[in-house]
Structure 1
Amino acid sequence: MTHLSVLEWDRVAVGEGGFSRRQADQLLAAARSHPLGGAEGTNILIDHHRWLRSQQVVGIVAGEGCSLEILPKIDQLGDAVSSEGRAGLRHRLVQMLDVALGLEINLGRDAAMARQDETLLDILIRAFADQLTNEVRRGLPRQYLRCEEDLPTLRGRLDVTRQFTTLAVRPDRLACQFDILSPDTTLLQVMKACVVFLARHARRAETVRRLAELRVALADVADVHPHHLAWDKIAIDRSNRRWRSLLALARLFLRRDWQATHRANDLRDLAGVTLLFPMNDLFEAYVAALLRKALAPEGYEVVSQGGLRYCLNEIAPDGTLGRPLFRTKPDCMVRRNGRTVLVIDIKWKRLSAAGSDPKRGVSQADVYQLMAYARLYDSARLMLLYPHHPDLEGEGALARHRLNVAGADERLTIASIDVAADRLATMASLKALVLGEAMVPA
């Protein structure tokens, strides 16, 4: 099994010191068949014959006998060459996934650094196994299930219709209808299906053993193929809300949701699990989740990918307004008392230093987009938020601009946030940055 790690936008060799040509073709085939790959898989990997170049996605691409781990490019945490650098980047990626998807993974930095040979997939499988083991020890959620069975003695109530038709010639049998308290619930069927699936892909002996123990503990739960799981019947309430994060992890492995987990053919395929996340989407979700936690005590509401207002309305020949066109979805809006006080456009791009480019590498289209948001959502404060890197002169608000529109009071701030910092530090920085911009008078 050949496993290599690379940073996004970086390249990995094909040939000596890298993947064989056959393995590279396996990875390219996985990229082509993945929902994020585009028509030729070039949104994930680009083939340059002597090397493969990764794109702006992170996670795992797997083929038969090989896998490629793509890690986020965060300058402050090092590169993918050293084991320490890979461990630091991997730990930060897990933290971002944890926050963005609400996985509630309990992985301390010391534990992550101590297991530098683990891939992202190894860490997530181990997190699922550990978390599920803890919940199983606390007790399985159960519910009453309706049963019908022909018994020699009455249990529950008699099914009169069946008794006097089908069992009319069987006086030794009674058609019984009764309820039993069973762990065979849809939620636990999902957990068992995930355990069975992950057991085929776990590499560490400790994790394999734990998954085997979990399968025994769930012996009373029916085996249901992942394609036939009734996801829509799962209801999280007060009785089982401690299973919410486990359900999120199971969705990550078994469904093609936001992060587009993929198996090449079907779930019995042993080639591996391709688990990919668009880095820009992940960064957006990470920032929005941290902002919600940071600003809720201050009375602010954070809305991600919301708004949904249209830029245009058709005008009918009689002058009436027709159907709306060009719906907008700002990355993040900060509201207070029903009013939008700040619109944030979040970009996973490398911002240029002021000395090298007066525009700092900001896209003209991004500025136009925020100008439209200012009018559509009546917000006087706008922000373009980027990840921080050492070449920038500082973290936080880097530059402020007033929109060059007659009578306009709107102001656009270009800012950066350090994703290499720990979660609490990043949340504190975001809170100070957003409150500082939202509370500045026009």
Structure 2
Amino acid sequence: MNKTLITVREYAQLEVAISVKLESLDKAFITEADFKVLCQLEQDRADESQSFLCINGIKKLKVQNYIGIIETPNAIIEVLPKITEKEELEQSRKILKKMLACYLDLPERVANETDLEQYHYPLHEWLMKLFLEKLTILLKKGIRSDYERVEEEQSFLRGQFNIPARMRQPLGRQHIFPIRHDIYSLNRPENRLLKTAVEEICKLTNNSENWRLSHEYRLLMQDIPRSQNYKDDFKQWRDGRLVSYYQDIKVICEIVLSKLTPITTHGTYRGISFLFPMEKLFEKYVAIQIRKQLEPDAILHEQMNGEYLCHYKEDQNRFGLEPDLLIENNGKKLILDTKWKRLDKGKDSISQADVYQMFAYSHKFACDVVLVYPQCEKFTESLAFQFFDGRKLSAVPFNLADEHTISESVQKLISLFPPF
């Protein structure tokens, strides 16, 4: 059965109806069966603090700030980031793919502006297409074989005579020789995982080109067995010089096999499911863009920890501080904290809790601090504040539109670094 693809964005509402239908990027209708699957999935994740849905009325759900793909019995729901109030589907999808390419450490070409223009597929089809493209390159270079130890019984000697097995043989089998020998085989962990990923794509894709390539490659790899244990095989994935060209495909292979997804489906129904928290995506993307333009002597720390607000009794530290980004250069410091929030009312939208948090960072690390928000229609210019101790707090918009505006946003952030 072909499932309906519905594309919504963060904070969209999902309502129960007779059939699956999309009204806008902010509202869609799902069936009763889909509703139950989503509720079960949300309940399963409640204990892990990864809530991506909330109840918003009788038989109504509201998407939270997780983006990605979730499959239900009758629909494939694609959740995109909410960048602007306008419903710009392709722009949101392109920005998301660019951020994911950085977050997943995909090759630089994948994150290229002109390259992304070619991908007008939903997110899951895009990732499967990336996998098949990398597999095409790998197959042209040649998949690696490895020596595999085989223990068997034959009527002739070959390799090493297995004496312990010979001693356990019954009298009626003395004419058969237990032997050990090595064969040069394609059966190695990397190839098993690639074969399994290809077979998964054969089942999941609805794109004609992805379907054609995946079935073609499944035939080419028919002599390679499936992976029976993803976790163990990924642990055995080698990084040596002879298999260095396998590295580009590893991350995408893990996604296709659902091993890197923060949320996966549970219970009786299992389908495609990969959802990523937008706060983490935004934080990682900003960090990568800043690192590209930093001076050689400057150091960018991510998720700094080890500092606390208070001591309790005998040197027991309490209330840990963990700023997102800390730039250091010749003793000078600047703290940046990314917030995936829309400042629709300018300075009046800044949370008081965020300001308190930044004051704690400023006081503890003795430096100026910066709040980084995504740029939106009503927040296009930086805001400057000053704490009563003289240190500065800035709120800066980060424009995700294209390479030029991203570069300008990074320069704006770096310019806040204290002068020498």
Which segment drifts farther, 45-54 or 193-202? 45-54
Q: Which runs of 5+ in 2 are unaligned?
A: 23-28
- Give the CA deviation at 1:403: 2.4
1:151-209 deviation per Cα after TM superposition (whole angstroms, max 9, x unaligned): 44444333343345538875654443333333322222222222222322111122112
Match of 2:341 among 325, 346, 349: 349
Partner of 2:296: 298
State yes or no: 1:58 paired with 2:56: no
Partner of 1:249: 252
Which segment drifts farther, 175-184 or 54-63? 175-184
Query: SS of 1:35's equivalent?
Result: helix
Cα distance change, pair 35–301 in 1 and its aligned pair in 2 (3 A): farther
Partner of 2:307: 309
Cα distance change, pair 256–219 in 1 and its aligned pair in 2 (3 A): closer
Partner of 2:412: 433
1:88-129 deviation per Cα after TM superposition (whole angstroms, max 9, x unaligned): 21121111101111123737766765664x321111112112
Q: Which runs of 5+ in 1 are unaligned?
A: 80-84
Query: SS of 1:234's equivalent?
Result: coil
Cα distance change, pair 22–168 in 1 and its aligned pair in 2 (3 A): same
Match of 1:6 among 8, 14, 27: 8
In 1, the alpha carbon distance for the partners of 2:356 and 2:417 equals: 21
Contact preservation (8 Å) 1:226, 1:254: no
In 2, the alpha carbon distance for the partners of 1:205 and 1:241 equals: 31
State yes or no: 1:333 paired with 2:314: no
Partner of 1:28: 38
State yes or no: 1:403 paired with 2:382: no
Partner amino acid, structure 2, of 1:272: G
In 2, the alpha carbon distance for the partners of 1:207 and 1:36 equals: 35
Which segment drifts farther, 133-142 or 105-114? 105-114
* Pairing of 1:29-108 with structure 2 (within 5 A): 29=39, 31-33=41-43, 35=45, 43-49=52-58, 52-75=61-84, 78-79=86-87, 85-104=88-107, 106=110
* Pairing of 1:161-310 with structure 2 (within 5 A): 161-166=164-169, 172-225=175-228, 229-255=232-258, 257=260, 259-265=261-267, 272-295=271-294, 298-310=296-308
Cα distance change, pair 5–255 in 1 and its aligned pair in 2 (3 A): closer
Query: SS of 1:239's equivalent?
Result: helix
Cα distance change, pair 253–103 in 1 and its aligned pair in 2 (3 A): same
Q: Normalising by structure 2, what TM-score? A: 0.84
1:22-46 deviation per Cα after TM superposition (whole angstroms, max 9, x unaligned): 255245335425537978x963253
In 2, the alpha carbon distance for the partners of 1:226 and 1:101 equals: 23
Cα distance change, pair 399–440 in 1 and its aligned pair in 2 (3 A): farther
Partner amino acid, structure 1, of 2:377: P
Q: Normalising by structure 1, what TM-score? A: 0.81
Contact preservation (8 Å) 1:4, 1:68: yes
- Give the CA deviation at 1:347: 0.4
Cα distance change, pair 237–330 in 1 and its aligned pair in 2 (3 A): farther
Partner amino acid, structure 1, of 2:275: L
Partner of 1:368: 356
Partner of 2:26: none
In 1, the alpha carbon distance for the partners of 2:412 and 2:171 equals: 78
Aligned pair count reads 409
In 2, the alpha carbon distance for the partners of 1:242 and 1:126 equals: 18
Cα distance change, pair 265–107 in 1 and its aligned pair in 2 (3 A): farther
Which segment drifts farther, 221-230 or 276-285? 221-230
Partner of 1:125: 128
* Pairing of 1:115-154 with structure 2 (within 5 A): 116=120, 118-154=121-157
In 2, the alpha carbon distance for the partners of 1:31 and 1:246 equals: 29
Overall identity of the aligned pairs, in %: 22
Contact preservation (8 Å) 1:188, 1:221: yes
In 2, the alpha carbon distance for the partners of 1:122 and 1:30 equals: 25
Contact preservation (8 Å) 1:145, 1:182: yes
For the aligned residues, what is the CA RMSD?
A: 3.2
Query: SS of 2:204's equivalent?
Result: coil
In 1, the alpha carbon distance for the partners of 2:292 and 2:98 equals: 15
Cα distance change, pair 389–20 in 1 and its aligned pair in 2 (3 A): closer
Partner amino acid, structure 2, of 1:29: C
Partner of 1:82: none
Contact preservation (8 Å) 1:74, 1:420: no
- Give the CA deviation at 1:303: 2.2
- Give the CA deviation at 1:51: 5.2
Cα distance change, pair 167–418 in 1 and its aligned pair in 2 (3 A): farther
Contact preservation (8 Å) 2:151, 2:180: yes
In 2, the alpha carbon distance for the partners of 1:280 and 1:365 equals: 17
Partner amino acid, structure 2, of 1:381: D
In 1, the alpha carbon distance for the partners of 2:223 and 2:293 equals: 43
State yes or no: 1:389 paired with 2:391: no
- Give the CA deviation at 1:280: 1.2
Contact preservation (8 Å) 1:45, 1:52: yes
In 2, the alpha carbon distance for the partners of 1:226 and 1:199 equals: 20
Query: SS of 1:141's equivalent?
Result: coil
Query: SS of 1:385's equivalent?
Result: strand
